[in-house]
Amino acid sequence: MSANIYKHKKLIWVFLLPAFLFMLVYLYYPFVQNILNSFQHIKYMGTAGGEWNTPWYVNYTKLLSDVKMRIALKNTVITIAATIIGQVGIALLLSLLVSNIKLGAGFFRTVYFFPIVISATALGLLFNLIFLYDKGMVNQLLQFAGYLDRESNELIDWKSKHAMFTMLTPVIWQYVGFYFVILLTGLSGIPAELYEAATIDGSTKRQMVRYITLPLLRNSIGTCVILAVTGALKVFDLPWTMFVNGMSNTWLTGTYMYSKVYSDVDYASSIAVFIVILGVVLSAAVNRIFRQNDDFEV
C-alpha cells in the first residue's frame, strides 16, 4: 500500500479535492463576489447587489477623496512601522538575551510567549482599564510618582492625547512573544563552533552579534517582518475593543472597513479590495528585501 500510493496519482486529487472545494466556497468565491460588490449598489448588508454603481468605479474615486480613509491609511503605515520596530525589534533583543543565558531560559520563553494565548478582546478590555481616565492604573501610578498632581486629581486622557501610543502598546506587547519564539528557534540553529572560533579570535559579544548572529538570522528576521507587516494590515479586534468607531482618529484600514459594513456595504467592499491590494504589494516588497539567501540559511 505504502509503495502503491505514489503510483496512483489520481488518489492525490481525491485527498486534495475537499480542501480545494473548501477554499473555493469560503475564500475564492467570496473574494471574487466582494470585488463585484464593490462596483454595485447594495442597500443592506447580506442582500445581493441590485444594480451597478454610476459610474461603476465610484467607490474607488470615493476612496481617494475620503479623509477618514487617508487617516486609516496613515495609521496603518504607522502600525506597520511600529510592529516591525516594536514587535520584531524587541523580540530580536529578547531572543539574543535569552539565548545567552542557561538558567531560567525556559521560564522567560514561557513568560514572553504567554500574551499570545490571551484573546485580543480580553487584552483590549484589560488595557482599557490600564489606560482608564479616572482611576486607571497608569494615571494612578503617575499621580503616585508625583508626575500628575494628586490634590487636584490631574489626569491624562490617554485615549485622546496619546491615542496611537495607547492603541499600539498592547498590539505590540501581544505579539512580541510570537516573533521571540521564531527568532529563538533561528538562534538555536547557529552552530556553536562559529562562536567558539570567534572567541578564540578575540571577538567581543557585540562583534559576534553583528558579524555572526544577525547575518545568519537574516531569513528568520525576514519571515518575522513579512508576518508583522501582513499582521499589521489585518489587526482589528484589539484596536476596535479599545477605540471603537475610530475614536480620536485612530482608524485603521481594517476598523474603517468594518465600520462601513453596516452603513455603506459596497463602499466597505471597495475598502476590502484595497486592503488586499495593499497587502499583496507590501508582502511582495518585503519578500524582495528579505529574499531567501541560501548562503545565510540556518
Partner 1 sequence: MKKKMVLVLAGMMAVSTAFAVPAAADGVTLNVTTTYAGEDSNAQNYKDSVAAWEEETGNKVEDSSATSDEAFKSRIIMDFEAGSEPDVLFFFNGVDANQFVEQGKVVSIDEIREAYPDYAGNMKDDLLGASPVDGVNYSVPVNGYWEGMFVNKQVLEEADVEVPTADMTWDEFLAECEAIKGAGYTPIAASLQEIPHYWFEYAIYNFQSAETHNTVPESVDDEYGQAWVSGLNDIKALYEAGYFPENTLTATDAETFQLFTGDKAAFLIDGSWKIGGIAEAVDDIENFTVVNVPGKGDRKTTDEIGGLSMGYYITRKAWDDEEKRDAAVSFVSFMTSDEVVSKFAGVSATALKEGASPDTSEFNALQIDAIDYTASFTGISPAVQDNLSAAAREPIFADMASIVNGDVDAADAVAAVLEANAE
Closest-CA residue to 217 (of 178, 181, 185, 177): 185
- CA dihedral angle for residue 89, residue 92, residue 94, residue 97, rounded to 10 degrees: -130
Among residues 100, 119, 188, 245, the one that binds partner 1 under rule CB under 8 A: 245
Minimal distance, residue 264 CB to partner 1, in Å:
7
Closer CB to partner 1, 132 or 164, in the complex: 132
CB 131 → partner 1: shortest distance, Å?
10
Contact status: 160 vs partner 1 (CB under 8 A): yes
C-alpha cell, 282: 507590501
Q: Of 165, 167, 161, 171, which Cα lies nearest the Cα of 231? A: 171
CB of 157 to partner 1, least distance (A): 5
263 binds partner 1 (CB under 8 A): yes
Do residues 130 and 148 make contact, with C-beta atoms less than 8 angstroms apart? Answer: no
The least distance separating partner 1 from the CB of residue 257, rounded to whole angstroms, comes to 15
Residues 107-146 vs partner 1: string with x where CB under 8 A?
Answer: -------------------------xxx------------
Shortest distance, CB of residue 243 to partner 1, whole angstroms? 8
- In the bound state with partner 1, the residue whose beta carbon lies nearer, of 219 and 248, is 248
- Neighbouring CB atoms inside 10 A of 20's CB total 12
The only residue of 99, 157, 214, 279 in contact with partner 1, by rule CB under 8 A: 157
Q: Which stretch binds partner 1 (CB under 8 A): 82-90, 167-175, 228-236, 240-248?
A: 240-248
In this structure, which amino acid lies at residue 210? R
Smallest separation (angstroms) from partner 1 to the CB of 153 = 9
**Residue 8 or 161 with smaller CB distance to partner 1:** 161
Stretch that binds partner 1, among 77-85, 110-118, 156-164, 269-277 (CB under 8 A): 156-164
Q: What are the C-alpha distances in Å from 244 to residues 135, 241, 251?
A: 21, 6, 9
Angstrom distance (rounded) from CA 214 to CA 226:
17
The residue to which cell 505504502 is assigned: 2
Number of H helices, E strands in the chain: 17, 2
Nearer to partner 1, 6 or 44 (CB): 44
Rule CB under 8 A: choose which of 75, 174, 255, 259 binds partner 1.
259
Which are the contacts of 169, defined by CB distance < 8 A and separation ≥ 6?
127
* Footprint on residues 72-111 left by partner 1 (CB under 8 A): none
C-alpha cell of 272? 476590502
Q: What is the DSSP letter of 136?
A: -
Which residues on neighbouring strands pair with residue 19, listed in sequence order? none
The CA-based angle 144-150-154, given to 5 degrees, is 110
- The size of the interface with partner 1 (CB under 8 A), counted in residues, is 20
Return the amino acid letter for 251.
W
Closest CA to 187 of 84, 292, 114, 100: 100
Residues in 35-74 that interact with partner 1 by CB under 8 A: 44-47
- Taking the complex as a whole, how short is the minimal distance between the CB of residue 262 and partner 1, in angstroms? 5
Contact positions toward partner 1, by CB under 8 A? 44-47, 132-134, 155, 157, 159-160, 163, 244-245, 247-248, 259, 262-264
